Structure 1
């Protein structure tokens, strides 16, 4: 699970382009981007990386080897049946879709292990949710200051001790691949 904002498209390309075509885990991305641009963003990502990228649609389930991107101005959420959906609530979040709302829903509903990464961006969206993922036993990563365009979201995560690791963007994919090999492949 990856959350990003300002500088996210380039960071995501750096990370996702390192995943092999046979990557055995599902990847879900919440990027702060207006819905009118998200289709073009997903198409652009598809041209940059080896794994297929699609917009997350309500009712879809995460699938190994596929990347789903939040596709509306509503908040992407994981439902108790492990399908994805969209919620208007909470209305008072300035960032839409919210990384925090998504990470919180994953921490609440996903019973397995995984990796949560919080990338470059303004503000603190995603930090509280990343902490909940860590408390739920997930491996959590914050992008380091040096490689962030804006060291806001990851900085808050570090201050909250939400991140197990703080890594340069170039090392995040390797950490995800390593975790997957140790914990998800049977």
Structure 2
């Protein structure tokens, strides 16, 4: 597995700047991918934001704008919104992932491992964080939702004894 120089530089930047809002996960793949996860707080709910750093020339900032929100009824409105926003903003692009009926926003930062600047990556991320609250009202309308669904609900684990305990507490 190649050494992830970008992750090391980003980690140092986070420590130096006392930024503590990220969870870190080593993927252990052939590119040495490390994923940093945080959230963008909006009026319609928290949107997971991921920073994907690896040994390639690409660094990705990915926002899960709406997990599982794309339906046959709202697809055209979402695509119209995406096309308009993508034509205006150069530094990030929206897309619909059909596999999980979700809306994502990606920002790609290209650099060699030795030319990677974590400060620049952080500036790009902050532009997205500042942008999102301004479009949440329109996203709410085009996605036809009041609140974002929990993007991790499908991955939650429940245990039978926990469910039984919760049920007995409700009855008490």
Normalised-by-shorter TM-score class: 0.3 to 0.5
**TM-score normalized by structure 1?**
0.31
TM-score normalised by L of structure 2:
0.33
> More strand by proportion, 1 or 2?
2
